[in-house]
A and B are shown apart, each in its own frame.
Chain A
Amino acid sequence: MLVFILIPLGVSVYYTFTKWDLIAPAPTWVGLDNWRYLLHDSRIVKVMGNTFRFILFGPTVYLVLGLLLALLLRNGGRATSGFRAVFILPYVLATVGVGTIWRWVLNDRAGPIAQLLDVFGINSPQWLFDPKWAMIAIAAATTWQALGFGMAIYFAGLQDIPKQLYEAAGLDGATPFQRFRYVTLPQLSPIILFLTVTALISALQLYDPVVAMTGDGFGGTAAAGGPQDSTRTIVLYLYNQMFQYNESISGLGYASTIAWFLAIVTIVFTVAQWMLFQRRRSRGERRPRRGLLRRKAGA
């Protein structure tokens, strides 16, 4: 593991200070050029913006809807495991397959959404060909695929909440909403943190669905990221700069710089969320439960 992670990590830091198009025999040292270029690269702003749009419409919905479904599932009775299997099924499918399926779901003439809109006399937008909608469409497809997994984890967390807590709240005359707010939510907080962190990390690394839903298929990435760059993500841009673009900056050096930029963004986000949850937790009266968080803190 050390050989395949730590050494490449070190080497890739070195590459961020070099330029190498893979044709030259060795990288040339260029100092901070890549980093300077990155800070002025308008496409970095664009791809980050795209990623945040994705987070707004994908992971956010996933976290909320997953919890709602889990709460519903709690009352599923004997059919619970059947329902769970239905929702979790798309999680097992290949992302590229899901992309293909959603190309049909979003088809502006034959797809089910278009047909539903048609009933209300609304003309369906050309989802994947409209820069306004394309990223939202990708977020919808990704959420559809991941939701069941989130739901299953929430559900398992709900099962672990001691029944006495609800009993006590019931005796105190708490309304269902208050029970949710003061028992369910705080008890679920390690689960919520786990799901938030993992969802955000994978959102920042979004790649497969974009290629499957906007690419042309030949080698996969030639057209991906469109329309008008509205679905280009950081990782796709990294791939473009590594293999496809032929700009003065392109090559492995700049690709490494983008990768480290992504790493920094990820670390900042993760640590920020963790601190946010810690503060919430220390404000509450409840003693923290043993969890991922505390282990992390202990490490």
Chain B
Amino acid sequence: MKQATDARSSRRRTLHGQQHSVARRRVVVRVLLIVSAVIYLVPLTFVVSSSFRTDTNMYNPTQWIPNPFTLEHYSNLFETLPLLPRYLWNTVFIAGLSTAGTVLSSALAGYGLARFRFPGNRLILAGLLLTLMVPPQVTLVPLYIAFRTVNLVNTPWPIILPVFFGTPFVTFFFRQYFLSLPRDFDEAARVDGASWWQVFWKIVVPLSRPAFITMAVLTLIQQWNGYFWPSVFLKSKEQWVLSQAMVSLSGQYASRQGEIMAGIILMSLPMVLLFIFAQRYIVQGITSGGVKG
């Protein structure tokens, strides 16, 4: 009996071209989804809520909707961290420059690997896959010494330069993506007399918009939120990025819950907005590039 129902429901599913299932099952699934979404949102709601609570109400469990409502934590933040604008600028500078570099260089390298047969092509690809598996911490020590020798520790460059000329993961991703693009377009343009450079900019880049958006947004988020590399290279307070300021805030002023939460919100807001805007492309980009080839 049950099997018959299943067979019928799946036939119906194909008839309608989408997933209609037994009504009861659908309700159960919806309820499960809603419950898990609510559980998922508890920590986030708390962050938002407590950033607007007064200090006396901070740990009051009845204050999910803050009353009285206050913005003092946001303004206090600038007193607790007098260098906040500086941290913001450092973060924008590092994240922006390294993302632009990573994406452009990796895309060009990935294009080369996907389209040209040149001696060493396979060797480079094998090396790339190997370095995908080698953790970046391996290169940390030599880079640290190199940057120390040229007096660049405590500047943004040790964070930007190593990724500026491309990273193995992003290069590999672009190679996979470009392989999935039909070569016919390239060749047609070549026949019409376009240079490889023109083909890349006029044909490949516009066709690969999801891939570019995906990698740019993911790299930007990673760089914006990164903590390990800055914690190694940016020791003096003026050079800190936002993530370091956050760690220091939650350690040094652990009692100032409101400021900490306000800080998290301010730091995350740009990335959250960006991600919501780009979400559609990202899921599309990842599945068509990195996973399936």
- CA–CA, A219 and B138, complex, Å: 22
Give the number of residues in A that approach B within 8 Å (Cβ atoms).
105
Of A12, A74, A260, most buried by chain B (CB within 10 Å of CB) is A12
Taking the closest CB of chain B, its distance from the CB of A244, in whole angstroms, is 12
- Whether A97 and B40, one on each chain, are in contact in the complex, defined by CB atoms closer than 8 angstroms, is no
Indicate which residue in B133, B143, B144, B254 contacts A263 across the interface (CB closer than 8 Å). Answer: B133
A290 proximity list for chain B (CB < 8 A): 292-293
> Which residues from chain A sit less than 8 Å from chain B, CB to CB?
1, 3-9, 11-12, 15, 22, 69, 72-77, 79, 81, 83-97, 99-105, 109-110, 112, 115, 144, 152-153, 155-157, 160, 163-164, 166-167, 169-171, 173-176, 190-191, 194, 201, 204-205, 207-208, 211-212, 215-221, 235, 238-239, 242-243, 252, 255-256, 259-260, 262-263, 266-267, 270, 289-292, 294-296, 299
Indicate which residue in A84, A100, A176, A289 contacts B6 across the interface (CB closer than 8 Å). Answer: A176
- Whether B176 and A85, one on each chain, are in contact in the complex, defined by CB atoms closer than 8 angstroms, is no
- CA–CA, A294 and B279, complex, Å: 28
B272 proximity list for chain A (CB < 8 A): 89, 92-93
The chain B residue sitting closest to A212, CB to CB, is B247
Taking the closest CB of chain B, its distance from the CB of A7, in whole angstroms, is 7
B130 proximity list for chain A (CB < 8 A): 267
> Which residues from chain B sit less than 8 Å from chain A, CB to CB?
2-3, 6-7, 9-11, 13-14, 19, 21, 25-26, 29-30, 32-33, 36-37, 40-44, 46-47, 50, 59, 61, 105, 109, 122, 125-127, 129-131, 133-146, 148, 161-163, 165-168, 171, 176, 179, 221, 224-225, 227-228, 231-232, 235, 242-244, 246-252, 254, 257, 260, 263-264, 267-268, 271-272, 275-276, 279, 282-284, 286-287, 290-293
B254 proximity list for chain A (CB < 8 A): 217
Indicate which residue in B40, B125, B165, B284 contacts A1 across the interface (CB closer than 8 Å). Answer: B165
- Whether A1 and B105, one on each chain, are in contact in the complex, defined by CB atoms closer than 8 angstroms, is yes
A296 proximity list for chain B (CB < 8 A): 129
- Whether A238 and B137, one on each chain, are in contact in the complex, defined by CB atoms closer than 8 angstroms, is yes
Taking the closest CB of chain B, its distance from the CB of A113, in whole angstroms, is 10
| A259-B168 contact, Cβ under 8 Å, with A90-B44, A174-B6 | no
- Whether B26 and A75, one on each chain, are in contact in the complex, defined by CB atoms closer than 8 angstroms, is yes
- CA–CA, A242 and B246, complex, Å: 23
Taking the closest CB of chain B, its distance from the CB of A167, in whole angstroms, is 5
Of A1, A15, A152, A160, most buried by chain B (CB within 10 Å of CB) is A1
- Whether B291 and A190, one on each chain, are in contact in the complex, defined by CB atoms closer than 8 angstroms, is yes
- CA–CA, A292 and B98, complex, Å: 26
A102 proximity list for chain B (CB < 8 A): 43
15 contacting pairs across A/B (C-beta < 8 A): A4-B163, A4-B165, A8-B142, A75-B26, A75-B30, A92-B271, A94-B246, A95-B227, A104-B46, A109-B59, A157-B287, A167-B14, A190-B292, A259-B141, A299-B129
- CA–CA, A156 and B284, complex, Å: 8
Task: Sort A-B residue pairs by CB-CB distance and give the 4 closest, nearest first.
Answer: A217-B251, A170-B10, A8-B139, A94-B225
- Whether B139 and A5, one on each chain, are in contact in the complex, defined by CB atoms closer than 8 angstroms, is yes
B138 proximity list for chain A (CB < 8 A): 8-9, 12, 256, 259-260, 262-263
Indicate which residue in B40, B109, B276, B283 contacts A87 across the interface (CB closer than 8 Å). Answer: B40
A174 proximity list for chain B (CB < 8 A): 6
- CA–CA, A1 and B139, complex, Å: 12
The chain A residue sitting closest to B113, CB to CB, is A299
- CA–CA, A81 and B282, complex, Å: 13
B260 proximity list for chain A (CB < 8 A): 100
The chain A residue sitting closest to B163, CB to CB, is A4
The chain A residue sitting closest to B264, CB to CB, is A97
- Whether A4 and B293, one on each chain, are in contact in the complex, defined by CB atoms closer than 8 angstroms, is no
- Whether A101 and B264, one on each chain, are in contact in the complex, defined by CB atoms closer than 8 angstroms, is yes
- CA–CA, A175 and B19, complex, Å: 16
| A115-B33 contact, Cβ under 8 Å, with A174-B6, A290-B293 | no
Indicate which residue in B50, B135, B225, B271 contacts A266 across the interface (CB closer than 8 Å). Answer: B135
Indicate which residue in A84, A96, A175, A176 contacts B247 across the interface (CB closer than 8 Å). Answer: A96
| A95-B129 contact, Cβ under 8 Å, with A157-B287, A217-B247 | no
- Whether B293 and A86, one on each chain, are in contact in the complex, defined by CB atoms closer than 8 angstroms, is no
The chain B residue sitting closest to A5, CB to CB, is B131
- Whether A96 and B225, one on each chain, are in contact in the complex, defined by CB atoms closer than 8 angstroms, is yes
- Whether B141 and A94, one on each chain, are in contact in the complex, defined by CB atoms closer than 8 angstroms, is no
- Whether B267 and A94, one on each chain, are in contact in the complex, defined by CB atoms closer than 8 angstroms, is yes
- CA–CA, A85 and B272, complex, Å: 10
